[in-house]
Every structure is written in structure tokens, then in C-alpha cells.
């Protein structure tokens, strides 16, 4: 991907964890690849914890290098990357300081990208301060999640930001949409005659979407205890993946065509009846356990977490889409912390053959399935049945495997790298539009409200397991199970 799009990339929260682990490594990889970033492009870090550019570059050298040197660091590329970086020390709580930022970037060429890698409480003050010094023109602004605590607070942020930046200037980032298998899902569905005729209720029995983490809340106990898994993962990541899986074919891949179809899915989600939440929603909280031989503490004893906390660290949901394509097909969503493995995957279970001339084994589980693994290794596998060598018609489950790192010689692009390049080049298709976000919050809120009012605590599960037994029981009611239970 060659570009001559000049840019000034202003990184708020320039010393923060997200900047060190994801944003700057992604920009470095684009820089190292050559041709992805215009030679004139500049990165301007904004922070208050270091004194000047020299000290900031030392900070970057110490904190970013571990994330870009796994396969060996190109020191020449690293040195030239650091030459792109400028630094402005300002206090984000002091609007008067933004004049320094204006003076520092006003003569730099190209589009201005403001990346807010800060807490959401700073989004509106930063936007107001940018507008006060005239920096909201010829600009794009990137907002990290969480964008609000509920529909009302989300609308308040969007209203305030929308007064300063037009909708086409606002990039609400969800890094799962930048992952290679998610992009390949669109290619598989809309580029191959094999899959699109099967992608409907007549041929799909159920769909599972899982984002599982081995990690706990780490140093984010204060934040997480006021957020929970439903807000942190379901309202954004899982519902965005669901909308990609279930969307109708767009007439083109331009930004609004794709997002229009995703919005139709979100608006077609069957509303959750508060009286039925116990049947279609499971919330859990991890207790102490063992993960890969290491003892880990219970959530309630994590730093920053209230000892009597009822915050959920696990959510499993049965979701239905009320439209012609998907009526009656259950979508099972699941996410959690301190689970048995780190995995993100989409599992499409096709219906078995209606009659088997090959015996009962042709109806066995483990076949007629498409599995898209998003992490840790990105693959797509199509499972089917084949005859085992030897006497008799004995069938076994086999799979066709597309392992991107083996099939394609080009290095895979990390999600943040793809998305940051899209921001710089003005491509909005992989970013969340405001009406999508509102539809997601509107669907999630009845669950949030019911759990808030409930006197029942989250269901316990031991760290290192796959969550509460109730999540498995919910699928058993539909004569199915989670993928790892079958294996």
C-alpha cells in the first residue's frame, strides 16, 4: 500500500500503556514496511510526565522496543522512526496549554489526526480545547473505547464531540474490526459462490462468537469494577463481530454501504425481555484458581476491586436476529477473564445432512462447520467428513485450513496498523458510526439495568476454567455445546 498522504499524527496520552503497546508499535511497523507512511508524516506525542523530546524518546526507547523487537529490531528503521517523533508537554486539564500544541503543529503539512489514547472523561475537554485554538479543521479524531457508560452518557459524549467535529471526521475505533480474519470473512462471504447461498437460516444451525482471556483485570481494577464485561466487551467488540457475520451484502465496500448493513443487523436484534434474562444471559465472576500451573487470586481480591463487588467478569448470551435471513438461528456470544485459554473465534455450525446414506456417523458433530480464529493464531478452517483409509465406510472429521502466515508470503498487518493507516488515508468503513453505537447501547441496556437491580450475585467460576456451568446449560437447551466442550 503506497501513499503520499502527508499527515501530522497527534497522540494524546503519549506515555500511556496503549500508546506504548499498540499505537507506536503499529506506526513503527508501517514506517518500517516502507511506502505506507508519507516521508513528511510526523508523530507529535502529548504528555505531561516527561520534560522534553529527548526524555520522551528515551521513554519510547525503553517502553516501545520490547513490542517491536520480537523478530529482531531493524536499528536503522528504528532510528529513522524516532526522527518522525516530536513532543509537546501540556496539561490536558489546562485549556490554555493547547496554544503550545497549536504553535508546534501549525506549520506541519497534511491532515491532522488527533488520537485520544486517554480516559473517556478527557474526550470532551480535549475536543473543546482543540476547537478553542482552531485545531478542529482539516482534522480527524480517533476515540478509543469505552465511549460512555450507558446510552445517555454515550450520547452526551457524541453530542459534545459532534458539535466540534463532523461525523465524517470522527473515527470510533474497535480494533477487532481490523483483524485479518474479520476482513477475510467479508471476502469469503461476498467473493465466493460457495458460501453465500449457505449463509442463512435454512443451512446454519447456530453461530458462536467467543472472546476469551486468560488475564485478569491486571492494574485496571478501579476501571473494570465500574465497567464489567458487558460494557467492556459485549456492547462493542462482540456486537460488532456479530454485525459483520450477519450483515447483508453491501452494494460496495465504501464506508457507509458497509456500516448501513451492520446497522440493520443491530436494529434487528430481538429485544431482551427482562423477564427472560435468566434464560438468555449468564453473568459470572472468577474466583481463585490455577492457570497454566500458576495460582491466581479471585476477582474480589484484585487491587482496586471492592471486596463485595457484583461486577461480572464473564458474560454468555443467546441472541436472535429478527429478519428474513436469520429468524430462528441462535447466536451465542461469550466473553470472560481468567478463562482456560486466550482465544477469539467465530464458529458457524451448519446443519447436518437431512438423511445419511452413509450411516449415523455422517450426522456426527465436528463436521459441517466453519471456524474463524482471530487470536492468538489467525486461521480459517472448514470442517467436513471424509472416509478413513481402510475397509468399510468409516468417516472422520477433517478440515481444510487457511493459515495466513503459511499461505501468504507477505507479513500480516496487525489490527492497529491497518486501522491507523485507514485513519490517515480517510477510510471509515472499519470504524463505528454513531448510529451503530446507539443501537448497540439500546439493545444492551435492559440487561445492564436488570443486573443492576438484581440481588443475585454473578455465578462463580474457578479461574482457569471456561466459566460458569450455566453457560454450558444454556447451549444444552438447544442441543449444542461450546466448541471446546465438543473437542
Residues 462, 466, 467, 472: what is their CA dihedral angle, to the nearest 10 degrees? -130
Mean pLDDT of 472-486: 93
Q: What is the DSSP letter of 21?
A: I
In this model, does residue 302 exceed pLDDT 90? Answer: yes
Q: What are the beta bridge partners of residue 282?
A: 316
Q: What is the pLDDT of residues 230-256, one digit of tens each?
A: 999 999 999 999 999 999 999 988 889
Lowest mean pLDDT among 21-25, 70-74, 306-310: 70-74
Q: What is the pLDDT of residues 404-436, one digit of tens each?
A: 667 766 667 889 999 999 999 999 999 999 999
Distance CA 33, CA 330 (A): 42
Pairing of β 7-12 and β 42-47: parallel
pLDDT value of position 1: 46
The DSSP string of 452-477 is: HH--SPPEEEETTBSS-HHHHHHHHT
- By C-alpha distance, which of 364, 365, 356, 277 is closest to 319? 277
The DSSP string of 79-109 is: HHHHHHEEEEE--TT-GGGHHHHHHHHTTS-
Interacting residues of 45 by C-beta distance below 8 A, sequence separation 6+: 11, 14, 15, 19, 56, 60, 85, 86, 87, 88
Confidence at 106, pLDDT banded by 50, 70, 90: very high
Q: What are the beta bridge partners of residue 485?
A: none
Mean pLDDT of 435-453: 95
Q: Is 31 a catalytic residue?
A: no
- By C-alpha distance, which of 10, 413, 379, 371 is closest to 175? 413
Distance CA 362, CA 367 (A): 9
How many Cα atoms sit within 13 Å of 41 on the Cβ side?
Answer: 27
* Alpha-carbon 356 to chain mean position: 40
What are the φ and ψ backbone dihedral angles of 91, each rounded to 5 degrees? -95, 115
Domain positions in the chain: 7-144, 177-425+433-486
In this model, does residue 206 exceed pLDDT 80? Answer: yes
Q: Can you say which residues are annotated as belonging to the binding site? A: 48, 91-92, 145, 175, 179, 213, 232, 337
Confidence at 364, pLDDT banded by 50, 70, 90: low
Residues 95, 99, 100, 106: what is their CA dihedral angle, to the nearest 10 degrees? 140
Percent of the chain exceeding pLDDT 90 equals: 73
Terminal CA-to-CA distance of the chain, rounded, Å? 40
C-alpha cell at 15: 506515555
Q: Can you say which residues are annotated as belonging to the binding site for substrate? A: 175, 179, 213, 232, 337
- By C-alpha distance, which of 403, 292, 284 is closest to 341? 292
C-alpha cell at 155: 450520547
- Cis check for the bond before 146: say yes or no (omega within 30 of 0): yes
In this model, does residue 58 exceed pLDDT 80? Answer: yes
Q: What is the pLDDT of residues 131-153, one digit of tens each?
A: 999 999 999 999 988 788 999 99
With beta carbons less than 8 A apart as the criterion, state whether 412 and 180 touch: yes
Residues 53, 55, 60, 66: what is their CA dihedral angle, to the nearest 10 degrees? 160
Do the first three CATH levels of 7-144 and 177-425+433-486 match, i.e. the same topology?
no
pLDDT value of position 388: 78
Catalytic residue among 237, 251, 303, 355: 237
Interacting residues of 227 by C-beta distance below 8 A, sequence separation 6+: 146, 149, 311
Q: Can you say which residues are annotated as belonging to the binding site for NADP(+)? A: 48, 91-92, 145
Distance CA 69, CA 65 (A): 6
* CATH architecture of the domain with residue range 177-425+433-486: 2-Layer Sandwich (3.30)
Distance CA 466, CA 481 (A): 12
Distance CA 268, CA 376 (A): 31
pLDDT value of position 394: 75
Q: Under CATH, domain 7-144 is a member of which superfamily?
A: NAD(P)-binding Rossmann-like Domain (3.40.50.720)
Q: What angle do CA 302, 308, 312 make, to 5 degrees?
A: 70
Amino acid at each position: 500500500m503506497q501513499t503520499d498522504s502527508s499527515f501530522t499524527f497527534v497522540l494524546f496520552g503519549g506515555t500511556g500503556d496503549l500508546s506504548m503497546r499498540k499505537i507506536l508499535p503499529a506506526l513503527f511497523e508501517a514506517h518500517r514496511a516502507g511506502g505506507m507512511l508519507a516521508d513528511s508524516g510526523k508523530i507529535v506525542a502529548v504528555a505531561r510526565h516527561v520534560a522534553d523530546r529527548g526524555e520522551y524518546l528515551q521513554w519510547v526507547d525503553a517502553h516501545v522496543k520490547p513490542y517491536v523487537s520480537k523478530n529482531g529490531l531493524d536499528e536503522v528503521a528504528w532510528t529513522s522512526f524516532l526522527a518522525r517523533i516530536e513532543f509537546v508537554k501540556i496539561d490536558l486539564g489546562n485549556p490554555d496549554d493547547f496554544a503550545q500544541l497549536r504553535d508546534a503543529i501549525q506549520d506541519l503539512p497534511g491532515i491532522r489526526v488527533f488520537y485520544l489514547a486517554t480516559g473517556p472523561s478527557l474526550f470532551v475537554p480535549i475536543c473543546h480545547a482543540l476547537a478553542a485554538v482552531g485545531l478542529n479543521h482539516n482534522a480527524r479524531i480517533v476515540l478509543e473505547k469505552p465511549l460512555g457508560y450507558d446510552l445517555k452518557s454515550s450520547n452526551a459524549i457524541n453530542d459534545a464531540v459532534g458539535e466540534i467535529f463532523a461525523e465524517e471526521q470522527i473515527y470510533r475505533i474497535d480494533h477487532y474490526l481490523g483483524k485479518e480474519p474479520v476482513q477475510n470473512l467479508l471476502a469469503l462471504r461476498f467473493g465466493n459462490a460457495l458460501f453465500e447461498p449457505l449463509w442463512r437460516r435454512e443451512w446454519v444451525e447456530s453461530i458462536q462468537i467467543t472472546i476469551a482471556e486468560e488475564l485478569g483485570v491486571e492494574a485496571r481494577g478501579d476501571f473494570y469494577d465500574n465497567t464489567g464485561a458487558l460494557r467492556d466487551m459485549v456492547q462493542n467488540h462482540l456486537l460488532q463481530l456479530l454485525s459483520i457475520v450477519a450483515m447483508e451484502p453491501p452494494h460496495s465496500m465504501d464506508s457507509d454501504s458497509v456500516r448501513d448493513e451492520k446497522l440493520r443487523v443491530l436494529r434487528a436484534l430481538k429485544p431482551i425481555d427482562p423477564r427472560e434474562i435468566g434464560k438468555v444471559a449468564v453473568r459470572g465472576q472468577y474466583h481463585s484458581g490455577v492457570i497454566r500451573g500458576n495460582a491466581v487470586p479471585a476477582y474480589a481480591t484484585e487491587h482496586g476491586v471492592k471486596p463485595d463487588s457484583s461486577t461480572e467478569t464473564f458474560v454468555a448470551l443467546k441472541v436472535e436476529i429478527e429478519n428474513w435471513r436469520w429468524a430462528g438461528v441462535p447466536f451465542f456470544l461469550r466473553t470472560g477473564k481468567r478463562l482456560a485459554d486466550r482465544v477469539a473465534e467465530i464458529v458457524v455450525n451448519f446443519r447436518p445432512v437431512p438423511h445419511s446414506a452413509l450411516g449415523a456417523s455422517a450426522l456426527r458433530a465436528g463436521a459441517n462447520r466453519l471456524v474463524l480464529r482471530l487470536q492468538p493464531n489467525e486461521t480459517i478452517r472448514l470442517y467436513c467428513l471424509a472416509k478413513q483409509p481402510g475397509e468399510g465406510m468409516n468417516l472422520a472429521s477433517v478440515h481444510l485450513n487457511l493459515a495466513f502466515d503459511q499461505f501468504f508470503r507477505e507479513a500480516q498487518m496487525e489490527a492497529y496498523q491497518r486501522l491507523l493507516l485507514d485513519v490517515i488515508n480517510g477510510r471509515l468503513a472499519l470504524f463505528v458510526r454513531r448510529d451503530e453505537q446507539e443501537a448497540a447501547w439500546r439493545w444492551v441496556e435492559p440487561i445492564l439495568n436488570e443486573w443492576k437491580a438484581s440481588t443475585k450475585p454473578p455465578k462463580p467460576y474457578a479461574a482457569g476454567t471456561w466459566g460458569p456451568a450455566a453457560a454450558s446449560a444454556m447451549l444444552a437447551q438447544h442441543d449444542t455445546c461450546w466448541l471446546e466442550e465438543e473437542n
